[in-house]
Amino acid sequence: MTLRPALICIALTLLASLAAAYDDPVADYLATRERLVPAAVSSRIALQQVLATGDFDHVEVTGDVSGKASAAPSLDGHPMRTLMLTLDDGWSLALKAGEEIDPLQVGHRVAVIARLAGGTGLNDLLLEAWAYDWDLPHEEEGMDDPPAEAPLAAPVQPALPVVSAPAGAPPTVGAAPIVPPSPDAGLDGVIAVWKKWVLGLNPKLSDEQASNIVRWVLHYSQQYNVNHKLVFAMMKWESWFDPGCVSHAGAIGLMQLMPGTARSLGVDPHNVQQNIEGGVHYLSEQLETYRNRPNYERVALAVACYNAGPNAVKRAGHSVPNISETRSHVKKVSNTFYELHQAGMP
C-alpha cells in the first residue's frame, strides 16, 4: 500500500519533466540534433564539402542573423521566409524558413539545423530548428580558461601607437588623425571609401544614411580619441549597420545601447547620431579602464566589457568571461579590426 503513492509521485514527476522538456526550445533543439545527427559546419568551405559528399541529410550551422525576408507561400500553402546568417568566416547563408524565425532579430547569434530542400546548392537549405547559441551547452564550458594574455585565438593586432590625448580626454588605442566632418575633398574621399564598405554590409541603407553614419563615426571617434576602425568593426557585429536593430535583451540601434547605459550617457538611443556618440563614448571609457594593458589585450577587454558588462569582466579576474556569446563577439570584432588595418582602410 505504501508503494503505490510513491510510484504515482514518481510517475507525476517524470511526466512533469517531460512536459517541461517539451516546452523548452533548447531541449527541443537538442532532441532534434540527437535525432537528425547533423554535420556541424562553421564556414562556407566546410558546408560545400559536406554537401559534396552526400553523406549527410542535415547540417548544423552557427552564425549571426543578418536579415530576414518574406516570400510567397510555398506549394503547401504555408508562408515562407528567408533567414540570412553570417558565418564566422564572413560569408552569408540564406535558409528557407517559416514563421518560427519571426522572433529573431539582426545581430542574434543562433545555431540552426537545416536539411537539403530539393537541391544540392548552398541556398537549398530548409530550416528544421533553431536556438540561441548562448543558451546551448558548449564543450569548452567547464574547461580551463585560456590565459588572460590571449583570451581568444584571434590574430595578434598590429603594434598600434597609443595616441596622447588632449587634457581631459580619455586616451585610447591608436586613433588615426582625422578632421571633423566637413565638405573638403580629402574627407570626402575617406567618407566615400567607408560608405562603400558600410553599404556592402547593409545595402538597405540609403546613400545619405550611410554617409551620415560614416561622418558621425569619424567625428565622435576623434572627439573621444578612439580608433575609428575599431568603432566600425564594433558596429558591424553589434547591429550590421541596422539603425532600427533591437536585440532580445533590449539593446537599441547601431551601437546596441541598453536603455540604462544610454540614460547614464545622456543620449537618446533611438536617435542615430546620439546612439553613435553614446556607443563611442562608452567604448572609450572601457578602453580607459585597461589603458595599462598591452594593445590587443586592451581591445579585447574593452569589447568584452561592452558586450557582457564591466562587472562580468571584473568577476572573471579582469579577463574575457567564459561566456560563449562574449568570447565569440570579442573574436569577431578583433578579427575585423585587424582586417581593416591590413586592408589599408583610411
Catalytic residues: 238
Residue 96 sits at φ, ψ, to 5 deg, of -80, 135
- What is the C-alpha to C-alpha distance for residues 154 and 87, in angstroms, rounded to an integer? 16
How many Cβ atoms are within 10 Å of 241's Cβ, its own excluded? 23
Give me the sign of the Cα torsion angle 180, 181, 182, 186.
positive
342 Ramachandran zone, left/alpha/beta (phi>0; psi -120 to 50): alpha
Strand partners, 39: 59
Question: Distance between the two ends of the chain, CA-based, in angstroms?
Answer: 82
Task: Name the nearest CA neighbour of 91 among 132, 42, 54.
Answer: 42
> Which residue is it, cell 503505490?
4
- What is the C-alpha to C-alpha distance for residues 260 and 282, in angstroms, rounded to an integer? 12
CB of 60 closer than 8 Å to CB of 112: yes
